[in-house]
């Protein structure tokens, strides 16, 4: 019998790659999407999978929608990827972000505990939880303390703790993937990698003449979403539930990201880039660099993309799509 996977956030960047990865591994794939007034936008990243997966309306904040589906499907694996995932937006809508991410996850854990205790559950935890903390050797790892610097980060710490609590208290197979930033052509265009690549490509094509950014000095450990969804699936098929950091172990500043992209497009970035308060954050997470030795050693995970091959793929993608309203993935 095929394994059944249920994905919240299936229409997001990671959800769509995870659905593809699970289909390739012979899973039946189910997921929920929220109602959106522009239906076409909602399924954009999933159009190519239309006949292969089962999508229904559902919302983490509507526990009845979760119960109905989980009782009916009885999934072997549940991936909780749904979240208000934009850090800067979380300063503008802190109540919604915390309610959605934290109470949403609680609704899902309660549903599993009460109706489907054998379903394994993956929680999309984040390097944003580390906030101000870096170990002395310049890395963050499973043992590093959490000191989040945003409402989003605080909501994710709640979910991380909830996952461990339900694992211990109710014996659920509940795992935390502590994923560092990961990008792709499917990354929302208001995250910094997509924003920089898309705008630089538009500048090259004379459709834009400036790129306005916030903090250029913060450092991020950027990997590819395709590599990271494979890590999620490995964690769910481990012999025991545990928590794992997933990262590349390399870090670059936003300025270095811009330098790479503009050089690749043969553009002088000093002519086009400026900064605005609008894109600054009340508190910035300054530095991320992850040590993923544990998942490499215990589960044999290894990323295929380098920073350069990932950004090159994004440049190629936006080269074809920078002037389109409807994008085909
Ligand atoms: P994303 O592209 O923003 O996707 C998130 C998805 O969740 C969207 O499709 C969104 O639907 C859906 N969603 C939000 N609230 C929901 C709710 N109440 N009920 C049902 N669906 C809801 O994010 P991503 O980059 O794929 O990330 C996936 C998960 O990993 C997120 O939890 C994120 O916080 C976490 N994470 C991401 C990274 C990263 O670098 N990408 C790193 C660490 C952790 P709408 O389109 O309707 O808003
Ligand atoms: N979005 C954005 N837009 N970021 C900018 C800009 C800008 O115009 N200018 C500078 N930055 C800086 C941000 O201040 C931050 O330091 C860095 O670029 C990365 O920002 P994002 O791409 O928005 O990602 P993030 O690190 O805040 O959050 C992402 O990674 C987390 C994991 O560490 C998101 O995917 C989160 O959901 C995820 O948990």
C-alpha of residue 101 to centroid of ligand 1, in Å: 9
Measured CA to CA, the distance from residue 176 to residue 295 in angstroms comes to 12
> What was the pLDDT predicted at 222?
98
Cα 216–chain centre separation: 21
Tokens for 294, please give them: 């544990």
Contact between residue 299 and residue 244 where contact means Cβ atoms under 8 Å apart? yes
Tell me which ligand sits closest to the C-alpha of residue 196.
2
170 catalytically annotated: no
Measured CA to CA, the distance from residue 328 to residue 320 in angstroms comes to 10
> What was the pLDDT predicted at 322?
87
- How far CA 147 is from CA of 151, 158, 244, in Å, comes to 11, 12, 18
E strand intervals along 9-50: 28-33
Tell me which ligand sits closest to the C-alpha of residue 190.
2
> What was the pLDDT predicted at 5?
98
C-alpha of residue 124 to centroid of ligand 1, in Å: 9
Cα 286–chain centre separation: 19
> What was the pLDDT predicted at 58?
98
The answer, yes or no, to whether any atom of ligand 2 lies below 6 A from the CB of 281, is: yes
Residue nearest to atom 1 of ligand 1 (CA): 12
Compute φ and ψ for 50, nearest 5 degrees. -45, -50
> What was the pLDDT predicted at 325?
74
Burial 22-34 (b: 16+ CB within 10 A, else e): beeeebbbbbbbb
Residue nearest to atom 25 of ligand 2 (CA): 87
Q: What is the pLDDT along the chain (329 residues), one digit of tens a residue?
A: 999 999 999 999 999 999 999 999 999 999 999 998 888 778 889 999 989 999 999 999 999 999 999 999 999 999 999 999 999 999 999 999 999 999 999 999 999 999 999 999 999 999 999 999 999 999 999 999 999 999 999 999 999 999 999 999 999 999 999 999 999 999 999 999 999 999 999 999 999 999 999 999 999 999 999 999 999 999 999 999 999 999 999 999 999 999 999 999 999 999 999 999 999 999 999 999 999 999 999 999 999 999 999 999 999 999 999 888 777 77
The answer, yes or no, to whether any atom of ligand 1 lies below 6 A from the CB of 193, is: no
């Amino acid at each position: 019998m095929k394994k059944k996977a249920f994905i919240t956030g299936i229409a997001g960047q990671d959800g769509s790659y995870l659905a593809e990865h699970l289909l390739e591994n012979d899973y039946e794939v189910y997921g929920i999407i929220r109602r959106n007034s522009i239906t076409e936008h909602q399924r954009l990243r999933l159009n190519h999978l239309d006949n292969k997966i089962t999508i229904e309306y559902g919302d983490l904040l509507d526990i009845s929608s979760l119960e109905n589906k989980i009782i009916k499907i009885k999934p072997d694996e549940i991936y909780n990827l749904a979240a208000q995932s934009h850090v800067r937006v979380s300063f503008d809508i802190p109540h919604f972000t915390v309610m959605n991410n934290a109470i949403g996850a609680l609704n899902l854990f309660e549903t599993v505990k009460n109706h489907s205790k054998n379903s394994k559950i993956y929680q999309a935890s984040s390097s944003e939880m580390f906030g101000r903390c870096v170990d002395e050797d310049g890395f963050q790892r499973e043992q590093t303390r959490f000191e989040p610097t945003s409402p989003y980060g605080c909501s994710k710490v709640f979910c991380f703790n909830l996952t461990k609590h339900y694992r211990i208290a109710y014996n659920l197979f509940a795992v935390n993937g502590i994923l560092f930033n990961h990008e792709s052509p499917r990354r929302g265009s208001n995250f910094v990698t997509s924003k920089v690549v898309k705008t630089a490509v538009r500048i090259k094509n004379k459709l834009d003449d400036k790129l306005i950014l916030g903090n250029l000095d913060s450092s991020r450990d950027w990997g590819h979403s395709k590599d990271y969804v494979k890590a999620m699936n490995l964690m769910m098929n481990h012999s025991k539930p545990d928590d794992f950091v997933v990262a590349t172990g390399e870090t670059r500043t936003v300025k270095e990201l811009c330098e790479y992209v503009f050089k690749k497009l043969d553009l002088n970035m000093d002519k086009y880039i400026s900064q605005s308060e609008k894109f600054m954050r009340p508190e910035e997470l300054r530095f991320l660099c992850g040590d993923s030795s544990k998942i490499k050693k215990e589960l044999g995970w290894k990323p295929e993309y380098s920073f350069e091959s990932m950004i090159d793929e994004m440049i190629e993608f936006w080269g074809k799509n920078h002037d389109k309203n409807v994008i085909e993935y």
